[in-house]
Amino acid sequence: GIHIAKKIDKLGMRSSDTAQIFFEDVRVPCKNLIGEEGKGFTYQMLQFQEERLWGVASALTPMETIIQETIDYTQQRKVFGQPVLHNQTVHFRLAELATEVELLRSLLHRAVALYVEGNDVTKLASMAKLKAGRLTREVTDSCLQFWGGMGFTSEVLVSRFYRDLRLMSIGGGTDETMLSIICKYMDILPRK
């Protein structure tokens, strides 16, 4: 009763297969049932906070890596007789990006500490995921720009991260979903 219709070709995250799967008259033996029957959606909703916090944590190292690789590249790459990194626009921007990554790390640490203590961190996890999704786009786009034409090739890590980290604003809830959750917890979401 399980039928895989087709593998889906994706923009990024190519190392992870995504496929269209159909379940028709599939029977699951009671011994293989996870949790209570009919509660799958509820279980999925309950795990979202952990998934979102994990997503934020998993984005920090790639962003730091891209910033450092961009620093290394722009120190070596010369334009008009000087390293690209010597341009104030470049080194100031890299400093801003590194600062934003550290701010995100602090938000994540606060949310995880509260979560471990048993608190509801839905609002903070949603804020962190929203910021992570937007920051991964900002870091990869800015850094790719400093690589010039080389950044537009498949030969460098920055182009892969540019492509793959885009999922951060979609998977586990879109930016717009995060904003709705945050607004709900701030009690500013319009009522029907």
Closest of 62, 93, 39 to residue 166, by C-alpha: 62
User: Which position has the token pair 């994540």?
Assistant: 108
Residues 6+ apart with CB under 8 A from 158: 66, 69, 70, 140, 143, 144, 147, 151
Tokens of 20: 């269209």
Active site residue ranges: 51
Candidates 59, 49, 45; CA nearest to 133 is 59
Whole-angstrom CA distances from 146 to 44, 71, 96, 159, 164 are: 40, 9, 14, 12, 19
Of 155, 157, 164, nearest to 137 by C-alpha is 164
Q: Is the dihedral of CA 129, 134, 139, 141 positive or negative?
A: positive
